[in-house]
Amino acid sequence: MNYSISHLDELESESIFILREVAAQFENSVILFSGGKDSILMTYLAVKAFYPAKVPFQLLHVDTGHNFEETLNYRDQLVNKYDLKLKVGYVQEAIDQGFVHEESGVNASRNGLQIYTLLDELEKGKYDAAMGGGRRDEEKARAKERFFSHRDEFGQWDPKNQRPELWNIFNGKKKPGEHFRIFPISNWTELDVWQYLAQEKVPLPSLYFAHEREVIERDGILLARSPYIPLKNGENVFKEKVRCRTIGDVTCTGVWRSKATTIEEIIEEVATSRMTERGGRSDDKRSETSMEDRKKEGYF
Amino acid sequence: MSDKDLETQLLRFTTAGSVDDGKSTLIGRLLYDSKSIFQDQYEQIEAISERRGEEEVNLALLTDGLKAEREQGITIDVAYRYFSTPKRKFIIADTPGHIQYTRNMVTGASTANVALLLVDARNGVSEQTRRHAIIASLLKIPHVVVCINKMDLVDYKEEAFNKIRSDFKDFATKLDVTDVSFIPMSALKGDNVVERSDNMDWYEGSTLMYYLENVHISSDHNFIDCRFPVQYVIRPYNDKFHDYRGYAGRVSGGVFKKGDTVIALPSGFSTTITGIHTFDGELDDAHPPQSVTFTLKDEIDISRGDMIVRPNNQPEVSQNIEVMLCWFDHTKPLQNKGKYFLKHTSTEAKCLIEEIKYKLDINTLHRIQENFSVKSNDIARVSIRTTKPLFFDEYSKNRTTGSIILVDSQTNNTVAAGMII
């Protein structure tokens, strides 16, 4: 008898184990839903983990106001299909109330402003665990992130004082006011995510597939033309066949020249790619350690 | 050939060592030669190396993640790295090798199928090599590869390799490591890492990559003793699944089949598995490491922390356990008669440290029995009494049902990991 299972089945089993552990160890948990493929995967795995019962977590979307329209449509369809509960936090509200100030200039982005709204929503909702779709292969500061990552009462991460994680025993003990960030798909790579979404035939937002779009080129990265991105002198708008490899705020999500119109073609492209998916994220390029700096403040 | 044979397996391995052993170079070589380094990652470390005035592109920068570490030039935590080949997907738990980071090595070793031990061919088996081998043995890593590195610096001589191999074997007789392989290599030059070396005709074994792709890991789990710690109870409360009550968990041992007679611990009630459920439909059997949901014939009271087993093959049930404990807390030592919180499979209990029997010198295996205290990174033999019975196996039989962690009740930090003897 051969009792081995494929790497995708093993990753699925591990993530389902983590999601059930969250439901068992925490009282009020939430899935951070960005509309990207990783949060879609996490939501889909949560549906699997508790079937035939409903997902025992809420979904929280932090809306910067600078969205791709396709993302919001997809989100609402997903929520309907699996009878999920959605909570939306608006960055615009924090700006209007003067809690955060909008960046100015041509590279202005609300990506950094999300942290305030995120922490505010976590506090208002009294969530004790927030699940993110972060993966360790994405970025070097994430390579050492735990599945269960403890945050103090200010939502901060202390990379020097992380709890060791051994075998599959996870310590979710905390004091009142503290919470956990949980990363159920830590061990998946970009390629694993695509292979699994293909295997499971999970429908995906159209942005991930190649389509013709108006774009501009800035610092070697293609950005989708949008009213939220003012043009610099000398920049031209042109049409290109492109797709997204990650989906975030419009102002910082690069698009890539691509001909991939099916998930199989995407896998082929990812498998032979010479650039990491975050290579198109201008928020990571601000300094050598920008991800680590943002994470310490409370970014996912 | 069945579809199963075409599927990619997952292999987890750990590497312990310092930059001096060429560990970072070895990992860099595996990533680079398997084409797992992306152009933008490479350009980034190329630019940093150049800015620092280093002559060559420093591959160690790929594996040194956090700011503090890059400033100090050392790896102080477990970093996880990923690469894959058409045959397997690999997860590397990359840990620092210095004695003050034993806790990190133990953490990385806890889930590994394979341990890579790096030996500098010029220096031979060192204290550090012995320490890593002892940890691999304590944590029962099923396969060990002694990577005899920097062969280019001893002119690729077979004698150097043979000497280290026999020294290691002499030492390993005291250990519980069953499957050991020796590979002579040069990570810097690329000999026997991914490509076969032209410089060592005398070596007839495989390259490291061939080994990692082919070592038999399907038997690394225990498929004999059926253990199912109940993790979560699924109650849908809807019309379609009105009376559904599912017991969700991850199989920790053995093969459960639909129709099997099982008993639930601690109640001891006997019943039958009526279904093994997943979102994708029912399964005929379930084995490690699958996450599934059981339905049972009789309505008996089962909740998280209980364990479903076979009547004729039960785990030990006791409030007293003997463990080899690795202490993690750098703020205070292990307290004799101290009270801690203990976590084991899906259950937890308060516990008392009844006796600290001895401390292990992890360089020599010598037992220190007088005038000692158990500080951070120490390993000790300890008797523990829990407030309620645990259902457990020896760690050597089952790494999941044989392992515990201790949590400090004031700080909530994980302060120790233990292997049940």
| Residue B150 pLDDT exceeds 80 | yes
Task: Compute CA distances B54 → A7, A288, B39, B47, B186, whole Å.
Answer: 38, 18, 19, 10, 21
Assess A79–B contact: CB distance below 8 Å, yes or no.
no
pLDDT at A273: 67
Average pLDDT for B225-238? 94
Average pLDDT for B162-185? 92
| Residue A288 pLDDT exceeds 70 | no
Q: What percent of chain A has pLDDT over 70?
A: 84
pLDDT band at B185 (very low <50, low <70, confident <90, very high): very high
pLDDT at B417: 96
Nearest-by-Cβ selection for A275 from B40, B78, B250 = B40
AA letter at B170: D
How do the domains of chain B map onto residue ranges? 3-214, 227-309, 316-420
- Looking at B42-46, B149-153, B164-168, B260-264, which range is the least confident one? B42-46
Q: What percent of chain B has pLDDT over 90?
A: 65
Closest alpha carbon within chain A to B80:
A143
| Residue A252 pLDDT exceeds 70 | no
Q: Which fold has domain B227-309?
A: Elongation Factor Tu (Ef-tu); domain 3 (2.40.30)
DSSP letter at B299 equals: -
- Residue matched to tokens 């501009």: A216
| Residue B75 pLDDT exceeds 60 | no
- Looking at A232-236, A246-250, B159-163, which range is the least confident one? A246-250
- Long-range pairs for B71-74: beta carbons < 8 A, 24 or more residues apart: B73/B19, B74/B18, B74/B19
Q: Looking at CA atoms only, how far is residue A149 from chain B in angstroms? A: 12
- Looking at A26-30, B32-36, B178-182, B211-215, which range is the least confident one? B32-36
A3 contacts B82? CB cut-off 8 A: no
pLDDT band at A216 (very low <50, low <70, confident <90, very high): confident
What is the distance between the alpha carbons of residues B286 and B248, in angstroms, rounded to a whole number?
A: 12
Q: What is the mean pLDDT of chain A?
A: 84
pLDDT at A7: 94
Q: What percent of chain B has pLDDT over 70?
A: 93
CATH label, B316-420, candidates 3.40.50.1370, 3.40.50.920, 2.40.30.10, 3.30.1490.20: 2.40.30.10
DSSP letter at B306 equals: -
| Residue A18 pLDDT exceeds 60 | yes
| Residue B226 pLDDT exceeds 80 | yes
pLDDT at B200: 96
pLDDT at A293: 58
- Looking at A226-240, B208-222, B286-300, which range is the least confident one? A226-240
What is the distance between the alpha carbons of residues B128 and B364, in angstroms, rounded to a whole number?
A: 11
Q: Looking at CA atoms only, how far is residue B265 from chain A in angstroms? A: 19
> For residue range A91-133, what is the model confidence (pLDDT) as tens digits?
888 788 888 777 777 666 667 777 888 888 888 899 999 999 9
CATH label, B3-214, candidates 3.40.50.300, 3.90.1420.10, 3.50.50.60, 3.90.79.10: 3.40.50.300
pLDDT at A291: 53
Q: What is the mean pLDDT of chain B?
A: 89
pLDDT band at B5 (very low <50, low <70, confident <90, very high): very low
pLDDT band at A280 (very low <50, low <70, confident <90, very high): low
B231 contacts A52? CB cut-off 8 A: no
Q: Angle, to 10 degrees, between the axis of helix A69-81 and the axis of helix A37-50?
A: 0
pLDDT at A281: 52
Residues of B in contact with A159 (CB under 8 A): 66, 68, 77
What ipTM does the predicted assembly reach? 0.91
pLDDT at A151: 84
pLDDT at B418: 96
| Residue B131 pLDDT exceeds 60 | yes
pLDDT at A283: 55
What is the distance between the alpha carbons of residues B403 and A164, in angstroms, rounded to a whole number?
A: 14
Nearest-by-Cβ selection for B218 from A3, A23, A292 = A3
Assess A58–B contact: CB distance below 8 Å, yes or no.
no
DSSP letter at A31 equals: E
Q: Is B255 within 8 Å of A27 (Cβ atoms)?
A: no
Using DSSP, state whether A241 is helix, strand or coil. strand
Which letter, b or e, does each residue of B100-130 get, where b requires 16 or more Cβ atoms within 10 Å of its Cβ?
ebbbbbbbbbbbbbbbbbbbbbeeebeebbb
pLDDT band at B86 (very low <50, low <70, confident <90, very high): confident
Identical fold, B3-214 and B227-309: no
| Residue B2 pLDDT exceeds 50 | no
Looking from the CA of B204 toward its CB, the CA atoms found within 13 Å total 0
pLDDT at B66: 47
Q: Looking at CA atoms only, how far is residue B87 from chain A in angstroms? A: 10
> For residue range B317-348, what is the model confidence (pLDDT) as tens digits?
999 999 999 999 989 999 999 999 999 999 99
Q: Is B143 within 8 Å of B218 (Cβ atoms)?
A: no
pLDDT at B392: 98
pLDDT at A11: 97
What is the distance between the alpha carbons of residues A62 and A60, in angstroms, rounded to a whole number?
A: 7
pLDDT at B74: 46
Nearest-by-Cβ selection for A160 from B68, B241, B405 = B68
Residues of B in contact with A10 (CB under 8 A): 10, 289
What is the distance between the alpha carbons of residues A249 and A110, in angstroms, rounded to a whole number?
A: 8
Q: Most B CBs within 10 Å: which of A6, A82, A169, A285, as the mutation test of the B interface? A: A169
Q: A73: how many CB neighbours lie within 10 A of its CB? A: 13
| Residue B154 pLDDT exceeds 60 | yes
CATH code, A7-193+289-297: 3.40.50.620
What is the distance between the alpha carbons of residues B313 and B418, in angstroms, rounded to a whole number?
A: 24
> For residue range B248-287, what is the model confidence (pLDDT) as tens digits?
999 999 999 999 999 999 999 999 999 999 999 999 999 9
Nearest-by-Cβ selection for B399 from A6, A160, A167 = A167
B66 contacts A144? CB cut-off 8 A: yes
- Looking at A12-21, A265-274, B277-286, which range is the least confident one? A265-274
B404 contacts A52? CB cut-off 8 A: no
Q: A203: how many CB neighbours lie within 10 A of its CB? A: 12
pLDDT at B165: 96
Question: B55 CB contacts (<8 Å, ≥6 apart)?
Answer: none
Using DSSP, state whether B254 is helix, strand or coil. coil
- Looking at A12-21, A28-37, B18-27, B58-67, which range is the least confident one? B58-67
Selected residues 98-117 of chain A with any CB under 8 Å from a CB in chain B: none
pLDDT at B190: 87
- Looking at A208-217, A272-281, B38-47, which range is the least confident one? A272-281
Average pLDDT for B8-35? 82
Nearest-by-Cβ selection for A53 from B217, B236, B413 = B236
Closest alpha carbon within chain B to A295:
B66
Q: Looking at CA atoms only, how far is residue B196 from chain A in angstroms? A: 24
Query: How many inter-chain contacts (A to B, CB under 8 Å) are there?
Result: 174
Q: Is B316 within 8 Å of B267 (Cβ atoms)?
A: no
pLDDT at B1: 34
Residues of A in contact with B250 (CB under 8 A): 13, 16-17, 168
Tell how strand B246-250 and strand B232-234 pair up: antiparallel
Residues of A in contact with B392 (CB under 8 A): none
Average pLDDT for B369-397? 94
DSSP letter at A91 equals: H
Q: Tokens for A180? A: 């956990």
| Residue B215 pLDDT exceeds 80 | yes
pLDDT at B152: 94
Compare B6 and B106 and report the one with higher pLDDT. Answer: B106
